[in-house]
Amino acid sequence: MKTKAFALILLALLLGTGSRTQEKPQDRRRFLDPKTQVSDDPRRIAVKPGPRGPEGTLVLRGGRIFDGTGTPAHEGTLVIERNKIVKLLPAGSSDWPKDAQVIDVSGKTVLPGLIDLHTHLTYPLNEENFGLALNEADATLRGAEKLRYFIESGITSVRDVGSQGDVPFRLKFQVPPQSFPPRYVASAFSSRHSRK
């Protein structure tokens, strides 16, 4: 009888503490203002607003639109405000603000930015220059040049999975946002140098 009573009390305690345990991360969002920009990961850490694009409205008129949904590319017009696509219009439409900057992209294909999820920004392009990879100054310059190359090639998001020392982290915070992909993720990678 005492064993059953003890088991019931223990069970009641265990079930009762479940409601007082730490809340799940997704439940913490209720404490954030909905307008607060947060990180994309489950932690939802408040972050400074990122690049918002240029002022005004940009219209890409007359091109073939490839949207990545599996449908074939089709004629159309994109209306972009800051860094957000606000309208996808049929080819003949002109439903955009009068003061918009209009770029004729006839004969061209417009597609979403590409993503490179495995890059080493500071690695040299050939084996002859591999000795330079150990020099942080050269690695930094090489990384900045590769970021410029990525954005010029249509790659708008990159993830560096390991480069020289803390160069990727320095690049993320020191290079002006318009100079490299707006989404740049530097991974935590153990370096051959340890900080003391």
Give tens-digit pLDDT for 121-163: 888 777 766 666 678 888 888 888 888 888 888 888 888 888 8
CB 59 within 8 A of CB 103: yes
CB 77 within 8 A of CB 61: yes
| 171 vs 149: CA distance, rounded Å | 14
Place of tokens 């004969």: 107
Place of tokens 């990545």: 68
Res. 19: pLDDT tops 60? no
| 191 vs 188: CA distance, rounded Å | 9
* pTM score: 0.58
